[in-house]
């Protein structure tokens, strides 16, 4: 069975957030602010962007790094505190989602906000980690089928470990009475 890849995992996170918060728009396609009309940003747009993996070299125990960018337009008359409130409310939804069973294993590592400096627009960026995942692809190194299972298992006990002449077959062992 193929293992999930980062795009599939992020699509799953996207779908789960959309289901939980249908008023928000969720996308995997980051665009510059100029690509949006104010009305499109009013309900809030959440963008998920893959940013890497760790630890490198361990495809069977990999954590996926991604960024979450939340954007919101607060209206032309919004004050800085209005923008901050909108950002923090949107961020709270993302935090609640990350701590829910819908999200899987997501932890927020770092949060940055607009710091009220781009009013009437607000935004936050979360650096997130999800996983661990098995990005090793198909498991092709394990034996398949009963023909690969050994008919007998030979074991040795101390002090005879490594001396195969003294090994015995597990099936030769008889259960001890009154054990």
Q: What are the C-alpha distances in Å from 24 to residues 47, 79, 91, 98, 123?
A: 11, 22, 12, 16, 14
Number of H helices, E strands in the chain: 3, 7
State the burial class of residue 142 (Cβ atoms within 10 Å of its Cβ: 0-12, 13-18, 19+).
Answer: exposed
Average the pLDDT over 100-113 and give the result.
90
Cβ atoms of 58 and 95 within 8 Å: the answer is: no
Q: What is the mean pLDDT of residues 44-60?
A: 87
Pairing of strands 45-54, 25-27: parallel
User: What dotted CATH number matches 6-133?
Assistant: 3.30.2000.10
pLDDT-derived band of residue 62, with 50, 70 and 90 as boundaries?
Answer: confident
- Average pLDDT over the chain reads 85
**In this structure, what token pair is assigned to residue 18?**
């959309």
Distance CA 10, CA 27 (A): 10
Give percent above pLDDT 90 in the chain. 60
Distances from the Cα of 21 to the Cαs of 25, 26, 34, 176, in angstroms? Answer: 9, 9, 25, 61
| pLDDT over 80 (residue 44) | yes
Band of residue 8 on the pLDDT scale cut at 50, 70, 90: very high
| Cα angle, residue 163 at apex, residues 160 and 164 outer, rounded to 5° | 115
CA-derived radius of gyration, the chain: 26
Lookup: tokens for 10: 């992020």
Residue 169 has pLDDT above 60, yes or no: yes
Q: Which of 42-51, 65-74, 163-172 has the lowest mean pLDDT?
A: 163-172
Q: Is the peptide bond before 159 cis (omega within 30 degrees of 0)?
A: yes
Residue 144 pLDDT greater than 70, yes or no = no
Question: In the chain, what are the domain boundaries?
Answer: 6-133
State residue 153's pLDDT score: 72
Instruction: Examine residue 41 and say whether the peptide bond preceding it is cis (omega within 30 degrees of 0).
Output: no
Range of weakest confidence among 75-84, 93-102, 123-132, 159-168: 159-168
Residue in the structure block whose two tokens are 């901050």 = 84
Within a 10 A sphere around the Cβ of 77, how many other Cβ atoms?
8
Give 79's contacts (C-beta < 8 A, 6+ positions apart): 119
pTM for the structure as a whole: 0.73
* Arithmetic mean of pLDDT, 143-154: 60
Looking at residues 32-36, what average pLDDT do you find?
A: 95
- 70 phi and psi, to 5 degrees? -105, 130
């Amino acid at each position: 069975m193929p293992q999930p890849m980062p795009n599939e995992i992020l699509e799953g996170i996207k779908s789960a957030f959309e289901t939980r918060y249908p008023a928000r728009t969720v996308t995997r396609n980051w665009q510059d602010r100029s690509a949006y009309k104010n009305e499109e940003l009013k309900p809030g747009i959440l963008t998920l962007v893959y940013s890497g993996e760790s630890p490198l070299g361990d495809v069977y125990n990999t954590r996926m790094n991604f960024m979450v960018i939340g954007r919101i337009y607060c209206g032309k008359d919004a004050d800085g505190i209005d923008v901050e409130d909108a950002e923090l409310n949107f961020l709270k939804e993302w935090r609640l989602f990350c701590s829910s069973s819908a999200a899987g294993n997501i932890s927020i590592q770092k949060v940055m906000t607009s710091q009220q400096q781009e009013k009437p627009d607000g935004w936050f960026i979360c650096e997130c980690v999800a996983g661990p995942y098995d990005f090793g692809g198909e498991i092709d190194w394990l034996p398949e089928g009963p023909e690969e299972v050994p008919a007998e298992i030979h074991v040795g006990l101390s002090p005879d470990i490594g001396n195969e002449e003294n090994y015995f077959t597990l099936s030769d062992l008889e259960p001890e009475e009154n054990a």
